[in-house]
Amino acid sequence: ALLQVTQAIGSQIGQFIQRKEAEDKVAFLAQFDIITDLPNRFLFTDRLDQMLAQSERNSWSVGVLFVDLDHFKAVNDTLGHPVGDLLLKQVGKRLLSCVRHGDIVARLGGDEFAIVQTRVRDPNQTESLAARIVETVSAPYEIDGNRIDIGTSIGVTLAPRDGTDADKLLKNADLALYRTKDAGRRGFSFFKPEMQEEIEARRNLE
């Protein structure tokens, strides 16, 4: 009888552990990217909102950088998605190596990453970070015996200069990214208000 009780207790403990592990996994997937372990879009937006509130209290700026990998689709098409996933992991690590403690690096989806640079006193700090990312991410990769050369295009916006709302800042950074790609990729552009007017004019023309 004692053995049966012990086995029953052991079974209940095992079920509890499995349930707890499943709950932890669900909670992780709700906030983090499964490939890179970086924050996902949901958590990134939440933390950006927190940083914007802190910046308002402390009178510093916040840099938002929208990072897109150049020619990533070609890697998936020629070498396969497993190699593409390994490349995304390495890109995530390189981005983390570029930022300071307290900055945020996230994967928004596909080959799109985003960074929040906190405690910005001078726009030159954000410009230096963008240049460092272009150089670091564009260096060759060695994955499964393959040498992979990709570049990166970046769109940059600053709060509160360009806005104080997370969604607006991401939209601004996306517009600046579009300008970088239009200029030939592998570089970065800062958001300017006239970019929205240019996009709308082009859409109307099309």
DSSP conformation class of 34: T
Q: Cα 110 from chain centroid?
A: 10
Phi and psi torsions of 190, nearest 5°: -90, 145
Of the candidates 33, 70, 103, 111, the residue annotated as catalytic is 111
CA distances from 114 to 42, 46, 155, 170, 184 (A): 12, 13, 10, 9, 20
Residues in contact with 30: Cβ distance below 8 Å, sequence separation at least 6, in sequence order: 42
Beta bridge partners of residue 189, listed in sequence order? 155
Q: Is 70 annotated as catalytic?
A: no
Closest by CA to 86, choosing from 5, 141, 130, 14, is: 141
Return the residue matching tokens 């552990």.
Answer: 17
With tokens 């390495």, the residue in question is: 90
Cis omega before residue 123 (within 30°)?
no
Lookup: tokens for 60: 């510093």
Active site members: 111
